[in-house]
Amino acid sequence: MRVLSVNVGRPREVSWRGKTVTTAIFKEPVDGPVRIRALNLDGDRQADLRVHGGWDKAVYAYPSEFYELWRSERPELDFPWGQFGENLTTAGLLDGDVSVGDRFRVGTAELVVTQPRLPCFKLGIKMGRDEFVTEFLERGLLGFYFAVVEEGEVEVGDPIVAVSRDPRGFKVTEVARLYARDRGDVEGLRRAVELDVLPESWRSYFRKRLARRVTLDA
């Protein structure tokens, strides 16, 4: 497992449906070591801190293997590294391979997996296709977020080394599945709300879903 690209970007204004929108999804690969800090990488920022960034979304990783799928399925679109707004383009670390709470050494930083990425309309802006947001979610090729346990530096070619695996084994793909498809999975929802590493916003959402489900089944 290794880092293929390190990508950063600052907020910029773009036109969308006759309006001006501020977004930081336009990230570009950079050379040399980049410092990973508690809330983001040096040279990187988020535009709307209500839904992006923060401690539990400090670093976004996207598997290069997913790029291969997108390039074959959507050859009319361009897919350079960083196209999905990720900070780290990775090799050998897929969504289905990681659980919430897994810790990895990336360069000299230690990171912990917190949640899958959910797309917003700005991904459609980046792709020039509003419908891509729905396609992205339906395909489930989402990537995932890290929180920063220990700050450090990362650069292209650095290995990604597993430090520890969360014993509960609740995959980030399971979080996405409960959100997007299997809304009536009571057992899955119960496991999710008990997962203390999962951000409270997710756990609160799943608690409400679970309460409704239990009421319906009563």
Output b/e per residue, 161-197; b: 16+ Cβ within 10 A.
eeeeebeeebbbbbbbbbbeeeeebeebbebbbebeb
Q: Which amino acid belongs to residue 74?
A: R
Most confident of 17-21, 123-127, 182-186: 123-127
pLDDT band at 216 (very low <50, low <70, confident <90, very high): low
pLDDT value, residue 48: 66
Give me the numbers of helices (H) and strands (E) for the chain, helices first please.
6, 12
Nearest CA to 9 out of 34, 147, 68, 132 is that of: 34
Sign of the CA dihedral running 202, 205, 211, 212: negative
| Predicted structure pTM score | 0.92
pLDDT band at 62 (very low <50, low <70, confident <90, very high): very high
Mean pLDDT of the chain, nearest integer: 92
Q: What are phi and psi of 155, to 5 degrees?
A: -150, 165
Instruction: Let me know how long the chain is.
Output: 218
Q: Each residue of 22-39: pLDDT tens digit?
A: 898 999 999 999 999 999
Round to whole Å and give the CA distance between 15 and 21.
6
- CB 87 within 8 Å of CB 60: yes
* Percentage of the residues of the chain whose pLDDT score is greater than 90: 77
pLDDT value, residue 183: 74
Round to whole Å and give the CA distance between 54 and 40.
8
pLDDT value, residue 67: 97
Bridge-based pairing of strands 59-63 and 88-91 is parallel
